[in-house]
A and B are shown apart, each in its own frame.
Chain A
Amino acid sequence: MNGAADNAIRLRGLDREYGDRAALSGVDLDLPSGASLAVLGPNGSGKSTLLRILATLLRPSRGEVSVLGSSLPDEAWKLRGRIGFLGHEPLLYEDLTGRENLEFQARLYGLPREEASARIESDLDLLGMSRRAGYRVSDYSAGMKQRIAICRAVLHRPALLLLDEPDSNLDPEGREAARALIGHPKEIGWASGMTVTRVAVSHDPERAKAEADQVLELAIGVGA
């Protein structure tokens, strides 16, 4: 197998524009499977845009994008169900409970009921949300929403984790607990026997670099 085939993510000259404004310009990247990438840069440098392109939620304006062997945007459909995405929004329905949100997610991903139930309870327990999972999401604090959103992002055991400031709103205890679900791929408990690649956007360079094998620094309107 050649090097390109071993890469979970390969970007060449990736551009993305919003109208006249360049959000990303000429981004190149090779990220091996099973590695952890930290994406750093100031506000407006396109970190979230990059993550949404990799998640197939945004189309690139130009350039080559290959994710888990699928070329984007043409083969985006092949990646459905293989990506765990944690964005700025928790992607949770406010009028459902935390547990109902996870059960809904499990049904969307076609998980067998018993397996889904076991995963949900195990992940909720890891993040200290078991007792509070029966409350409506609208009653949660931002930190509690983030904990449920983390459970949602990994419930289907994705091969690629795309995390946009995963520590936001989490207290130190929550950050520590979250490492077992979304930390470095070697630390993730659920990933035994599978290769998981991780891309995390962060505003905390020291912490991000400690959890990363590779760093991508973005400047405003320019890739690095």
Chain B
Amino acid sequence: MTPSLQALGAIVAKDLRTELRTMRSLPAMILFAVTTFIIFRFGLDRTALSGSLASGVVWTTLLFAAVLGINRIFLPEREEGGFDAFRLAPVDRPVLFVAKATVLFLYLVVLEVIVVPVFAVFFLNDWSGLVPLIPVLLLTNLGFAALGTLISSMAVNSRARDLLVPLLLLPLVVPLMIAATGATSPLLDSGGPSFDKFGTWLLVLGLYDGVFCLVGYAVFDFLLED
């Protein structure tokens, strides 16, 4: 195993172990998402949703739940000196970006494994669109993870980080949300899933992911400077 891969594995394992021990991020993300679905259920006064409305509800909820995780992803490094320890180690700095994006991606997968079925129970009469939804969820998660890690690393040293993360993240995430909702909407149609422009939207998601993975990898070195 190369030193970079070993360091990547060490950081991911450390973060997952810490999360399992402290439950600081995931329970909050899950609780937020479930509560939001309940509010939508009673706020919209609908027992079933389909098409663009269903797509909007599920992605709005997942986006704001993800912001909770994004806000916290670098806190141990900031508060416990992990940035300094990492900068002293013989590891390429973008490894930290990849490791944190991986952790965030895994958080989002766990979140969705739990809350998407809850969404289906609350709002869907037909669950057959959920299987083709999986690649949309995974590609969108990758975009969230890359952009979220980048924004979080920029905001973590600011006292106003809780404000900065959504302010910086939300405008940049608009293209990702347009593509995610565009791909999801026909999958959740009341008459069963259709695949209208599905491939195009997946391509847009993939391009977005590629751009922000590359940007994050390229600029992360500079973000760790004093």
Contact = CB atoms under 8 A, between A and B. Distances in A.
B74 to A, nearest CB: 13
B81 A85 contact: no
Given A57-B226, A107-B6, A93 B18 contact: yes
Interface in A108-131: 108-110
B29 interface: no
A59 interface: yes
B18 A96 contact: yes
B3 A87 contact: no
B159 interface: no
Interface string A61-98: 00000000000000000001101010101111111100
B80 interface: yes
Contact of A57 (B7, B17, B84): B84
B15 to A, nearest CB: 10
Interface-centre pick from B10, B80, B81, B225 (highest chain A CB count, 10 A): B80
Is chain A's interface secondary structure helix, strand, loop, or mixed overall?
Answer: loop
Is chain B's interface secondary structure helix, strand, loop, or mixed overall?
Answer: helix
Interface in B83-120: 84-91
B16 to A, nearest CB: 12
A176 to B, nearest CB: 26
B85 A105 contact: yes
Given A107-B6, A110-B90, A92 B81 contact: yes
Nearest to A106: B10
A83 to B, nearest CB: 6
B interface residue count range (under 10 / 10 to 19 / 20 to 34 / 35 or more) = 20 to 34
A90 B82 CA distance: 10
A85 B81 CA distance: 12
B80 A108 contact: no
Given A104-B10, A110-B7, A55 B81 contact: no
Contacts of B89: 80-81, 105, 108-109
Given A80-B91, A96-B18, A108-B85, A58 B80 contact: no
A85 B18 CA distance: 24
A56 B85 CA distance: 11
A89 to B, nearest CB: 4
A91 B76 contact: no
Contacts of B22: 95
Interface-centre pick from A57, A85, A92, A108 (highest chain B CB count, 10 A): A108
8 contacts: A58-B226, A80-B89, A93-B18, A104-B10, A108-B7, A108-B85, A108-B89, A109-B89
Interface of B: 3, 6-7, 9-11, 14, 17-18, 21-22, 76, 80-82, 84-91, 225-226
Given A57-B88, A107-B6, 19 more contacts: A55-B88, A57-B84, A59-B226, A80-B87, A80-B90, A83-B88, A91-B84, A93-B80, A96-B18, A105-B85, A107-B9, A108-B10, A108-B11, A108-B91, A110-B3, A110-B6, A110-B7, A110-B90, A152-B85
Interface of A: 55-59, 80-81, 83, 85, 87, 89-96, 100, 104-105, 107-110, 152
